């Protein structure tokens, strides 16, 4: 299979288990779940220690892009293992890998799309970059900084506040739109539309 025929691998980061489902750290899973609904399928367990769904994003027919949507079922700081296994299994080149994750240094609900860069202390990115290098796309979902002196680890493992939840569905929907735009129209178009 040539790179031109390879699918896109779109990975939402989070922690498995119901106790983490509504945490700020799990916003990548939330976006992946919404994209799964758009594709019209259900995640299934893959031998790579991830849940996957294969389908198409974008306009029906020739305009749609083949994607493998994934949620690693390792904990966040071990995401590199499942992502590498999926990359190898589906033969996905680095430029077709998209990782959706929470970002502390961006205001809540703000999106930033980029390719490459550091991990900014994010353990999921750190694990993926250690396994695959930094040359993949990121859809960074702003969660803002913790209030007062709350430790970062406590903040990211807390649920979104009631105020944040009022707009969460809108922001998750917008992040899913940004992923579709990136996959179908490319990074530059997606940045121009969604980087705010």
Choose the catalytic residue: 25, 46, 101, 122: 25
Residue 107's Cβ-count burial label (10 Å; 0-12, 13-18, 19+) is exposed
Residue 138's Cβ-count burial label (10 Å; 0-12, 13-18, 19+) is buried
Catalytic residue status for 46: no
> Can you spell out the DSSP letters for 50-96?
EEEEEEEESSSGGG-EEEEEEEE-S-GGGTHHHHHHHHHHHT--GGG
Q: Which residues are catalytic?
A: 25
């Amino acid at each position: 299979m040539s790179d031109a025929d390879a699918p896109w691998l779109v990975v939402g980061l989070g922690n498995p288990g119901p106790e983490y489902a509504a945490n700020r750290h799990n916003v990548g899973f939330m976006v992946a779940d919404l994209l799964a609904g758009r594709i019209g399928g259900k995640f299934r367990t893959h031998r790579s220690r991830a849940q996957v769904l294969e389908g198409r994003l974008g306009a029906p027919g020739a305009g749609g892009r083949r994607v493998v949507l994934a949620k690693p079922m390792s904990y966040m700081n071990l995401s590199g293992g499942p992502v590498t296994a999926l990359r190898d299994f589906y033969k996905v080149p680095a430029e077709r890998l998209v990782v959706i994750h929470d970002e502390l240094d961006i205001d809540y609900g703000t999106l930033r799309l980029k390719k490459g860069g550091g991990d900014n202390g994010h353990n999921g990115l750190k694990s993926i970059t250690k396994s695959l290098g930094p040359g993949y796309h990121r859809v960074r979902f702003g969660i803002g900084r913790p209030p007062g002196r709350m430790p970062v680890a406590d903040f990211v493992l807390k649920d979104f506040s009631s105020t944040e939840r009022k707009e969460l569905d809108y922001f998750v929907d917008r992040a899913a739109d940004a992923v579709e735009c990136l996959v179908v129209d490319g990074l530059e178009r997606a940045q121009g539309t969604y980087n705010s």
